[in-house]
């Protein structure tokens, strides 16, 4: 057992201390605290808080410090917001950029509208919950205070599904999404189902009033076709499709993107998903949208066709990692919005930097990859006007970012967009 002084919070929400010349990461410890911890290499287990931080508050969940779903629940609100903002500032600084970052916008709203529960099987029984921090051990939970009210029945439904498949002994991921028609569940890890398993799952779907149940994208039970509200549209939800974690988060991000693109008449939306930005932008501009997930692009286009008052919105399936839009293809646009996955999109950012574009709106859920891509744009002549962190992942070490980049006059653009 060692006595440690916590110096700061790391980017994963763990307290960082010094043990001689070595850094030690202490989950659930806060800056300024003196703690007793069991140390094993760089990792430590918090045993006792000797001197608590004045910023320490009571956690909102009894599973905190066991369940790994939340990293920082015991930190006072202002200190927590400062830490989240600091994640972006530090990442930019590490990328060689000195840029101002706006205060964090809280976008937790009513709570998470999607969650993935994990199930592990032993002796024909299923344990369902979230994983412990830095572990594959399952922490069984009876409720989660971060979930939206529409997911109140998510855990009982996940347990019922896991119980049906427990004899297989395979680990499962059970992704639950709140839709306008009720809960939509996508299973991963089960593999092809036997007829008796499908029958039992159909009964579970009915018992828990699921809108739909799919297994690796294949339909198991459909009671009501699930739709989600995306800006002005009603969009059919593909199985397992990506959505922003909270409805409030999507609304805040969409509002920031819409304001940043205001006045543009021809916009490209890269990594568009089901159209969180494209469908909002199409109220004011012609939009060409691209994503590798063809089913998400099709869903976005279906939503657009069923929505009146939108300007032309074209969608195309394209792997923007393997085939980024080139500088020449980007030339027709007044503005580009890009929202890549956590890994970022350096190759696409390079093409944007080489293009004659004058306005870019970058959205990211990872501070490190955002900073790297931002550096590419800055080195390409862009200046960052606004960098706004958005917190829809309350208590987690993740932060959304919306940034606006602009530069001076470029060459003339043709009037037609890439998609006609």
Name the E strands within 171-223. Answer: 172-179, 182-188, 212-215, 218-222
Residue 37: phi and psi, rounded to 5, are: -145, 150
SS3 category, 162: helix
**Helix H or strand E encompassing 419:** none
Rounded Cα distance between 297 and 303, Å, is 10
Please report how many Cα atoms fall inside a 13 Å half-sphere around the Cα of residue 324, on the Cβ side. Answer: 20
Catalytic-labelled residue, pool 67, 70, 335, 365:
365
Q: Would you say the C-alpha torsion 381, 384, 390, 393 has a positive or negative sign?
A: positive
CB 185 within 8 A of CB 165: no
Q: Would you say the C-alpha torsion 6, 370, 237, 303 has a positive or negative sign?
A: positive
For residue 148, the 8-state DSSP code is: -
Provide the β-strand partners of residue 230.
Answer: 233
Residue 51: phi and psi, rounded to 5, are: -125, 115
> Does the annotation count 272 as an active-site position?
no
SS3 category, 305: helix
Identify the residue whose tokens are 């809280």.
Answer: 106
Identify the residue whose tokens are 């344990």.
Answer: 127
Provide the β-strand partners of residue 12.
Answer: none
Give how far Cα 167 sits from Cα of 137, 276, 324, Å.
19, 40, 45
Give how far Cα 124 sits from Cα of 36, 100, 174, 301, Å.
39, 55, 18, 44
SS3 category, 22: strand
Active site (catalytic) residues: 365
């Amino acid at each position: 057992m060692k006595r440690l002084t916590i110096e700061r919070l790391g980017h994963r929400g763990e307290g960082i201390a010094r043990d001689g010349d070595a850094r030690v990461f202490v989950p659930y410890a806060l800056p300024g605290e003196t703690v007793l911890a069991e140390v094993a290499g760089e990792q430590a287990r918090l045993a006792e808080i000797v001197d608590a931080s004045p910023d320490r508050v009571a956690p909102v969940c009894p599973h905190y410090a066991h369940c790994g779903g939340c990293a920082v629940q015991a930190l006072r609100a202002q200190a927590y917001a400062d830490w989240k903002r600091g994640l972006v500032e530090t990442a930019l600084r590490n990328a060689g950029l000195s840029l101002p970052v706006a205060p964090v916008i809280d976008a937790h709203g009513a709570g998470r509208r999607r969650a993935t529960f994990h199930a592990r099987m032993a002796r024909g029984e299923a344990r369902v919950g979230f994983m412990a921090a830095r572990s594959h051990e399952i922490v069984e939970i009876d409720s989660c205070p971060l979930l939206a009210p529409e997911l109140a029945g998510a855990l009982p439904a996940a347990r019922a599904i896991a119980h049906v498949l427990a004899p297989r002994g395979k680990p499962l991921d059970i992704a639950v999404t709140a839709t306008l028609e009720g809960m939509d569940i996508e299973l991963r890890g089960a593999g092809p189902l036997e007829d008796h398993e499908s029958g039992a799952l159909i009964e579970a779907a009915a018992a828990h009033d699921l809108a739909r149940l799919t297994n690796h994208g294949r339909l198991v039970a459909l009671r009501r076709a699930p739709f989600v509200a995306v800006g002005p549209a009603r969009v059919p939800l593909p199985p397992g499709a990506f959505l922003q974690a909270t409805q409030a988060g999507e609304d805040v991000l969409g509002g920031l993107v819409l304001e940043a693109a205001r006045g543009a008449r021809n916009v490209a939306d890269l990594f568009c998903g089901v159209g969180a930005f494209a469908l909002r932008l199409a109220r004011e501009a012609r939009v060409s949208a691209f994503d590798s997930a063809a089913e998400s692009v099709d869903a976005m286009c279906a939503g657009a066709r069923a929505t009146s008052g939108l300007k032309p919105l074209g969608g195309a399936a394209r792997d923007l990692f393997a085939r980024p839009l080139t500088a020449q293809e980007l030339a027709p646009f007044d503005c580009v919005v890009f929202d890549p996955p956590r890994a970022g999109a350096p190759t696409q950012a390079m093409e944007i930097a080489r293009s004659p574009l004058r306005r870019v709106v970058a959205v990211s859920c990872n501070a490190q990859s955002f900073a790297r891509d931002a550096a590419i744009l800055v080195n390409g002549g862009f200046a960052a006007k606004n960098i706004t962190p958005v917190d829809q992942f309350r208590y987690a070490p993740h932060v959304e970012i919306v940034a606006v980049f602009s530069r001076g006059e470029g060459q003339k653009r043709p009037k037609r967009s890439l998609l006609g």
